[in-house]
Amino acid sequence: MGFKNPSSEFNIQFMNYWLVKSEPFKYSWDDFLKDGRTYWDGVRNYQARNNLKVMRAGDKVLFYHSNEGLEVVGVAKVTKEAYQDPTTDDRRWVVVDLEPVGALERPVSLKEIKEDKRLGDVALIKQSRLSVIPLTKGEFEAILDLGRG
């Protein structure tokens, strides 16, 4: 007797959680809000690219200002899964479409994230140069909690 996967029978989809980084002078949270949607392009790191490839529509994404600010400022969601990056002819690179959900009540600084015991293993600290980072549900919720003040 074989095991039947209930998720395939009922088309249950599990949500994933992510953090994307952007330098605010290149593309800020305010730019994102003004645009109302964007494709996440310019990723040229294989691990970050692989993370883009496994993002699914509906996944939640934290938006982080890197280099300047060093803080999580908002929440977005994936609206379209990985497809060819339109900014390059190189077929190795992909983008996903993101849409803003809302700003955090207050930004959450990298310093706060480093000091919070719940976030000791977060990839933002462990792999600080990675621009697309997976989060656990607990890490995502802990950052949201900090953003509530």
What is the residue range of 31's domain? Answer: 14-147
Question: What is the number of structural domains in the chain?
Answer: 1
CATH number for the domain spanning 133: value is 3.10.590.10
Q: Determine the Cα–Cα distance for residues 85 and 49; give it in Å rounded to an integer.
A: 10
Q: Per residue in 38-61, pLDDT tens?
A: 999 999 999 999 999 999 999 999
Q: Per residue in 70-89, pLDDT tens?
A: 999 999 999 999 999 999 99
Average pLDDT, the chain: 92
Q: Determine the Cα–Cα distance for residues 100 and 27; give it in Å rounded to an integer.
A: 13
Q: Is the pLDDT assigned to residue 4 strictly greater than 60? A: no
Q: CA of 1: how far to CAs of 4, 9, 11, 36, in Å?
A: 9, 17, 22, 50
Q: Per residue in 90-106, pLDDT tens?
A: 999 999 999 999 999 99
Contact between 64 and 146 (Cβ < 8 Å)? no
